[in-house]
Amino acid sequence: MSIGSDVPETHHPKTLCPYHPIYILMADNTHRSIPIKQTTPLSRVRKMMAQSMDESVRRAALSQVTREMDLSAVQAAREAAGEQRHSLNTYIMAAVARALPNHPLLNAELVENRVVAFAAVNLGMAVAAADGLVVTVIRDADQKSLDELAAAANDLATRARAGKLKLPDIEGGTFTVSNLGMFGIDGGFPLPRPPEGAILLVGRVRSQPALVDGQLVERPLAWFSLTFDHRFIDGAAAAAFLQEVQERLAHLR
């Protein structure tokens, strides 16, 4: 059938909105004409992630603040540690976990018009696994040393890539960190995992000129993008949290 000839001039296909019945018909016909290479059912973990992301978009009023972070102190500490150094992500997770108790709204969820702030910091850590990105959970992360955080993160990442995660490994998170810097990403708009109220995306580290004490010097900088549920977290609270994270990264505390 000729779609264009059967549509009134005021509803020409070029001007149809994506939800117009004829647009849907055209999209459906196009889909049927494309050869299918493979159909793969979602794994149990991917199903849970898909449902979680759908809920995040439907229920939350999402907003975002971003900040460029100076990672000079972290870089210096890693260089000084030599072969025994921890990953950049370990330092970032430590700074985030230790800052969260001072910003309870960022470590909370909204339940029937009540903000429920958690006493524990169960830090979600995104891991690139065989079937996609999966978020694992490090419990009581704010109470762990760098060595303990690194060990927990390595264990979860290893089991995630081997497909050996259990349900407790991916449940009960209160805040998530996703570091995509290794893929050359500067920033983005990640979605919090319900019922979590916020998620932090870490971009790649770049050597950039910065003005320090009147002198132009090179510093390792990275963008941190914090997406949060604006229903109970405002921009000032989100910005204050990022400010403390920067202070902790600058002084390694």
Report pLDDT for 128.
84
Tell whether the model's pLDDT for residue 66 goes beyond 80.
yes
**What is the set of domains in the chain, with CATH numbers?**
3-33 (no CATH), 44-251 (3.30.559.10)
Choose between 51 and 204: higher pLDDT: 204
**What is the average pLDDT across 1-8?**
44
Mean predicted confidence (pLDDT) in 245-251: 97
Pairing state between β 132-138 and 123-129? antiparallel
- In this predicted model, what pLDDT tens digit does every residue of 6-32 receive, in sequence order? 444 444 444 444 444 444 444 455 555
pLDDT at 83: 83
The pLDDT of residue 64 is above 60: yes
Catalytically active residues are 230, 234
The mean pLDDT value of the chain amounts to 86
CB atoms within 10 A of CB 39: 5
Worst-scoring range by mean pLDDT, 65-74, 125-134, 180-189, 243-252?
125-134
Each residue's pLDDT tens digit, 180-203? 999 999 999 999 998 999 999 999
The number of residues making up the chain comes to 253
Please tell me the pTM assigned to this model: 0.80
Mean of pLDDT values over 100-117: 96
Q: What is the pLDDT of residue 43?
A: 74
- pLDDT on residue 8: 45
When pLDDT is cut at 50, 70 and 90, the band that residue 58 belongs to is: confident
